[in-house]
Amino acid sequence: MFQKILIANRGEIAVRILRACRELGIRSVAVFSDVDRKSLHVRLADEAYAIGPAPSRESYLRIEKIIDVAHRAGCDAIHPGYGFLAENAAFPSACVDGGLIFIGPPAEAMESLGSKTAGRQLARRADVPTVPGTNDPIENLAEAQALAHRMGYPVLLKAVAGGGGKGMRLVTSDAEFEPAFRDAASEAMNAFGDDRLYLEKYLDRPHHVEIQIFADAHGRVVSLGERECSVQRRHQKVIEEAPSPIVTPDLRKKMGDAAVRLARAGRYVNAGTVEFLVDANLNFYFLEVNTRLQVEHPVTEQVTGLDLVKLQIAIAAGHRLPFAWESITPRGHAMEVRLYAEDPDNNFFPSPGKILSRHVPSGPGIRLDDGVYEGWTVPNEYDPLLSKLIAWGNSREETIARLRRALEEYTISGIKTNAGLFRRILTEPEFLRGEIHTKWLDELLRRPIPATSLSDHTEPVNSASDAAAIAAAIWQATQVDKLSRRSSPPGGQPSRWKQEGRREQLDRLP
């Protein structure tokens, strides 16, 4: 097993990985940009090294800087997390050249499956159904528009090196095509350092269902079941669950077979996700392969009992998968919501700033994968994901009830979050029935907004009555402090019984 691992990422996923390292007795090394100097992953790691200014292209996307830190720190291996360099085939190649182990698939598998266009070509050769679209990157705008004409609108422009909804645009007419092409290419370049795009036919109201796969270097490839990822805002997943409410045992077997077949064809090793679109008739179509650990991996962990990060590390160290596909039987139901620093009441505008206070939920079936802490300042330079709140229950109904309760317990001040949006979603009849699709949330958000806010529990002072209430609270706290000091023995602490009695007296004051 490895002695020391560098984590080439930030935020909650860096914290998740270093905790797995600690449980395995492996020392962890964090890297950070200038604005991340006080981040949670830096505070928790065994060692931490600065790698440059805030822009990711000058820090987290600089392969040579990360490799240099790994050498200076004496690391055996590098874990890329998700995002940034996680799906850049040049990164595992650089690790190999530098005598380091990359905890993920080899560069060749990443090129054949991680590239969206190459993955589609391989899927067709492996007899996996695909969504109609281009097999190669689009050369120019005119070519792309001509292809869209032949396919018929609506179409999707998608980044070849993309993921997480970055570099993706839905186009419904000729008039929209040129600005959508320009914006998608620009976003793809900023997110992945690659502005190439491809074109895909847009399917109307499908479910987005993905299969978690694992493969070792000894020829064993397994499916760990599916995740339902249809609740999305502008192609970005916000809620994931396992198992899917629409997937039958027969469909699960067929999709798992297709995913394993594709992984074998691409000589895949380590963790990966094969994504599919499923139509109303339960026909499934290959969408893409994410050659990395997914943001939503905790829901699979909850229903299988496996630690996917530890499994990644073990496979990278040369170990065999310790189980066969047939032995994996999902238990219960799990659901995850992504808590972002954003304001749903203001078109989901980012909400950076200092976290003044926070109360996090706990209790039966609740897990929080965290990347922040009280007093930390959320930067404006990166994806605003704060934490992932995961609930598990014996049934989908119990899971939703637990998640709803946990969201009611979650409070934060200083920034806005989307917690209120999830409280709304978890009461929607269509969601409760599992009648969702990839455009369902966008359609829901166009409906009249309920009287309650979609953001978190903390609201700004906006009325005279609010100000009066706060003034009264301040006065009451002052009186408590005066009474406490008056009742304190010289040089000692006041009696707790006396303090609580004084508070009760003050509570009864008008």
For residue 345, the 8-state DSSP code is G
pLDDT at 192: 84
- In this prediction, residues 233-239 reach a mean pLDDT of 93
297-304 vs 308-316: helix crossing angle, rounded to 10 = 100
β-bridge pairing 47-52 and 27-33? parallel
Among 187-196, 217-226, 460-469, whose mean pLDDT is lowest?
Answer: 460-469
Six-digit token pair at 205?
């109201």
Confidence (pLDDT) at 451: 58
Predicted local confidence at residue 508, as pLDDT: 45
What pLDDT was estimated at residue 472?
Answer: 45
What's the pLDDT at 475?
A: 45
What is residue 452's predicted lDDT score, i.e. its pLDDT? 55
Instruction: Say how far apart CA 227 and CA 25 lie, in whole Å.
Output: 31
3-state secondary structure of 211: strand
Q: Where does 223-331 have alpha helices with state H? A: 249-265, 297-304, 308-316
More confident residue, 500 or 226: 226
- pLDDT tens readout for residues 177-205: 999 999 999 999 888 888 999 898 888 89
pLDDT digits (tens, 9 = 90+) for 294-340: 999 999 999 999 999 999 999 999 999 998 877 788 899 999 999 99
Tens of pLDDT, residues 15-26: 999 999 999 999
Mean pLDDT of 99-118: 93
**What value does the mean pLDDT of the chain take?**
89
Interacting residues of 325 by C-beta distance below 8 A, sequence separation 6+: 222, 223, 256, 260
pLDDT score at 460: 40
**Average pLDDT in the 99-110 region?**
97
What's residue 200's pLDDT? 85
Percent of the chain with pLDDT over 90: 73
Residue in 292, 367, 402, 423 annotated catalytic: 292
Would you place residue 478 in the very low, low, confident or very high pLDDT band (cuts 50, 70, 90)?
Answer: very low
Tell me how long the chain is. Answer: 510
What's the average model confidence in pLDDT over 465-477?
A: 45
Task: Determine whether 338 is an active site residue.
Answer: no
Question: What pLDDT, on the 0 to 100 scale, is given for residue 456?
Answer: 54
- The answer, yes or no, to whether residue 467 has pLDDT greater than 70, is no
Percent of the chain with pLDDT over 70: 88
> Average pLDDT in the 343-356 region?
94
pLDDT band at 386 (very low <50, low <70, confident <90, very high): very high
State the Cα–Cα distance between residues 232 and 236, nearest whole angstrom.
5
pLDDT at 330: 86
Q: Please report the pLDDT score of residue 255 as a whole number.
A: 97
Higher pLDDT, 310 or 458: 310
Helices then strands, counting H and E runs in the chain, come out as 17, 22
CB distance 202 to 154 below 8 Å: yes
Produce one character per residue of 299-318: b if its CB has 16 or more CB atoms within 10 Å, e if not.
bbbbbbebbbbbbbbbbbee
